[in-house]
Chain A
Amino acid sequence: MINQIDLMRLVDQYRDDGIVVPTMTGSRGWNIVSSNKNRDVPLGGAMGKASSFALGVALAQPDKRVIIFDGDGSLLMNLGSLVTIADKAPKNLYHFVLENGVYAVTGGQPIPGSTKLSFAGMAKEAGYPTSFEFDDLEEFASRVAEVMNSEGPVFICVKTTPEIQNEPMGLRKPSGLKPTKTAIRDLKHDLGLWD
């Protein structure tokens, strides 16, 4: 299993001027690692829709890398987006799923099918031209250049250590994450798109 922060530090080196769309536990990790918060859009509001939102960004900004850090439960909620993304096939899209096997944010309940399904297999069969699976940081480190230099859409399933949150909502520390609304505004400013 891979610690998501270690993974993200490696990915950040290949981000260029790209746009990153993390969700769930991935948003907290990326908030620590990110080298350009003006181009991060953490998606909290509509569970499962990070992949769809990122597809829209990738189609609107074909010259920028767009990187998703999806949750496994989130992707299960929007599996059809694998087909939609593969169909439009944006060359600039890198779709990571952080497969921790659980719904970490809501207390660590296992996702359905956690011991049976293969996300990398589903992405490949949905039509992603390239699909990877990693369970070991050293292996990822030795292949990250290949992953990030592959033509998109690229799917990368990473088995990550669950960071389970179990405190009652009222006792949890504020995440410190930007609201999605603010992040979209900051992204548009940074891209010079504000009218």
Chain B
Amino acid sequence: MTQQALLSPEVVIQEFKSNGITHVVYLPDSETNWMYQLMEAEPSLDLIPVTREGESVAIAAGILAGGKKPVVLIQNTGLFESGDSIRGLALDCALPIVMLIGYRGWTRHGATPDSAARFTEPILRAWGITYYLVEHDGDANRISLAYQEADRTNMPVVVLVGDEYHGFNR
């Protein structure tokens, strides 16, 4: 089997640092453990674990209101869970919150048996949220593009992490 191109957690964290991220608001998914170990060791990042994802968008909104720069790190299942916070805070208050969303169920084949994947993009389109797809290190600068887009439009922007082989792991 050929080696798949991967998205390395070091590169993602470098993107956070070069965009001046101060706080990471997160709830884990199954592919992210290595990334958390690295983030914990990174002194420039304050980690905020939440009990459900609806909290994450509201906490990020408060961090922005207080003048710091958050990133939200959740799974697409958590995106569904956060609906009213995304609507009532991020969209209605025009807040440039960038969310990195683990794209559970995504495949490069298109068809997927996982409803989490099937509903992800239609919902983002319904909400009018701009999104980028990141699959491997070569795409990682789309995280920077997402921050530029969020700042330019004063709107939330999503980065879907569609690395079906590694997620945020090595």
Encoded as 1 (CB less than 8 Å from any A CB) or 0, chain B from 30 to 65 comes to: 000000000000000010111110111011111111
Given A49-B85, A59-B46, A60-B67, A181-B62 contact (CB < 8 Å): no
Given A52-B62, A60-B65, A84-B51 contact (CB < 8 Å): yes
Could you say which of B52, B56, B62 contacts A60, with CB atoms under 8 Å apart?
B62
Given A60-B65, A188-B65, A45-B92 contact (CB < 8 Å): yes
**B84 contacts across to A, CB distance below 8 A:** 46-47
Contact B67 A54 (CB under 8 A): no
**A54 contacts across to B, CB distance below 8 A:** 62
The answer, yes or no, to whether B87 is at the interface (CB within 8 Å) is: yes
In the bound complex, how far is the Cα of B67 from the Cα of A191, in angstroms? 8
Q: Name B46's closest neighbour in chain A (CB-CB).
A: A59
**B49 contacts across to A, CB distance below 8 A:** 84, 87
In the bound complex, how far is the Cα of B55 from the Cα of A80, in angstroms? 8
**B95 contacts across to A, CB distance below 8 A:** 184
The answer, yes or no, to whether A33 is at the interface (CB within 8 Å) is: no
The answer, yes or no, to whether A193 is at the interface (CB within 8 Å) is: yes
Looking at chain A's contact residues, the main secondary structure is helix
In the bound complex, how far is the Cα of B89 from the Cα of A61, in angstroms? 19
Instruction: Give how many B residues have a beta carbon under 8 Å from the other chain's beta carbons.
Output: 33
**A80 contacts across to B, CB distance below 8 A:** 50-52, 55
Contact B89 A60 (CB under 8 A): no
**B58 contacts across to A, CB distance below 8 A:** 46, 49, 52-53, 56
The answer, yes or no, to whether B88 is at the interface (CB within 8 Å) is: yes
**A184 contacts across to B, CB distance below 8 A:** 61, 64-65, 93, 95
The answer, yes or no, to whether A173 is at the interface (CB within 8 Å) is: no
Could you say which of B22, B48, B61 contacts A84, with CB atoms under 8 Å apart?
B48
The answer, yes or no, to whether A78 is at the interface (CB within 8 Å) is: yes
Contact A46 B55 (CB under 8 A): no
The answer, yes or no, to whether A164 is at the interface (CB within 8 Å) is: no
Q: Give chain B nearest CB distance to A184 CB in angstroms.
A: 5
Q: Name A191's closest neighbour in chain B (CB-CB).
A: B67
The answer, yes or no, to whether A7 is at the interface (CB within 8 Å) is: no
Q: Give chain B nearest CB distance to A18 CB in angstroms.
A: 12
Contact B59 A55 (CB under 8 A): yes
In the bound complex, how far is the Cα of B33 from the Cα of A72, in angstroms? 36
**B156 contacts across to A, CB distance below 8 A:** none
Contact A45 B62 (CB under 8 A): no
The answer, yes or no, to whether B70 is at the interface (CB within 8 Å) is: yes
Ranked 8 nearest A-B pairs via Cβ = A56-B62, A60-B66, A45-B88, A80-B51, A46-B88, A52-B58, A49-B58, A193-B67
